[in-house]
Amino acid sequence: MSTKVFITGSTGYIGGCIMEAMVKNPALEITALLRTITEEFTTRYPKVKIVKGDFDNFPVIEAAASNAEVIVHAGDMDHPGCVNAILSGLGMRTKRQEKSFLLHLTGTGCLSDERTNLWDGKLNPWTWNDIEHIQKIYDLPEEALHHKIDRQIMDASNEFCKTACICPSDVYGQASGVANRGTFMVKKRAQLTLKQVPLYVSTAMIRQETFFLGAGENTKDVVHVEDIATLFILLLEHAIRGGGEAQWGKEGFYICLNETPVQIKQLAEAITKLGVAQSWLLKDAKPVSWTAEQVGSILPHAPRIARYLWGSNTRAIAARAKALGWKPIQKPFWESLEEDVSIAVATTKEKLAAKALKSKA
């Protein structure tokens, strides 16, 4: 017997990996929300049903959600309209006393220390644990990144509708799927998507200087994009079994990372070495300490986001996912860095060349 699954974000960086893994299971009847239907998608996934619409199409999303037994929301994690439509559709299922499960992609930005005085390049030793600190996580202030919607989803869990929030740290590695391959350390804030290291590389190439904020001692956990997809599939398997051994609702908060934190200054030093070796930085280049104002200038329309990206700490333990049997198996962060930076360099060169041609036209 097949299980009906509805997915958003199936052409994205993380969602594409989840889709690629799901289609390998012939027992899944998959429906995907697509804003633009491409030949690449339909050729690659001929058995996937498509509903056309974007995150603002409430009736389309609501209807698709009401017909699905499992929903994988890997699209814009901070889009309230999309989440409200999904929950409305699940509410219809609850009224019909039909069981359903929601797997929601969020991020460890909600756990960032930017609301404290231990950021802007300082080291914060605090480490989150999603079992021991679940009440602290649930009680985070509404203004914490992603948390307003995370809590809405936690609170929506009931007898018939079970919900889980999957919370990856900074994401690295090459992705499978039909789009957004080669992105690296992706962060989402509000409705702005930032590719952290590609943005860093682009800035360093243009300004011919690598940097860290303040002392550069702040550290962030990381996780390979394919390992995130593995956790989604594991939770999907438990959902198909009626919930299985997984936890849902308030306790269904799954931090996803490989517990090998990266210090930003060390990252700057490693990228500098690659820049020199690849000849896009001068031979005597060394990373420089930047002020909060200098880092903020990278994103003049959102300077605090830039400070958050390169100046905050996020360290945690993936206790709940590990207890369920998940473990990261992909290539470690430092082994992926050269390939990922090389792709970022090539992309930046293409953009700069296109910009130069446009200015001449």
Q: Which residues contact 235 (CB under 8 A, 6 or more apart)?
A: 103, 164, 166, 246, 254, 324
Q: Report the C-alpha gap between 324 and 332 in whole angstroms.
A: 22
Helices (H), 189-332: 196-207, 225-240, 264-277, 292-296, 303-311, 319-323
**DSSP H helical ranges for 161-256:** 196-207, 225-240
Torsion angle defined by CA atoms of residues 133, 123, 190 and 130, in that order, rounded to the nearest 10 degrees: -20
**pLDDT given at position 191:** 33
pLDDT number for residue 313:
96
Q: Is residue 132 a contact partner of residue 323, using CB atoms and an 8 Å limit?
A: no
What pLDDT score was predicted for residue 178? 78
CA angle at 81 for the pair 250 and 197, rounded to the nearest 5°: 75
pTM for this entry: 0.93
Give the pair of three-digit tokens for residue 68: 């699905």
Residue 66, SS3 per DSSP: helix
The token pair at 332 is 């470690």
DSSP E strand boundaries for the chain:
3-8, 28-34, 49-52, 70-73, 100-105, 128-129, 161-168, 170-172, 186-189, 192-195, 211-213, 219-220, 222-224, 253-256, 262-263, 288-290, 316-317
* Domains defined along the chain, listed by start: 3-356 (3.40.50.720)
Per-residue pLDDT of the chain (361 residues; tens, 9 = 90+): 899 999 999 999 999 999 999 999 999 999 999 999 999 999 999 999 999 999 999 999 999 999 999 999 999 999 999 999 999 999 999 999 999 999 999 999 999 998 888 899 999 999 999 999 999 999 999 999 999 999 999 999 999 999 999 999 999 988 888 765 544 444 443 333 446 888 999 999 999 999 999 999 999 999 999 999 999 999 999 999 999 999 999 999 999 999 899 999 999 999 999 999 999 999 999 999 999 999 999 999 999 989 999 999 999 999 999 999 999 999 999 999 999 899 999 999 999 999 888 888 7
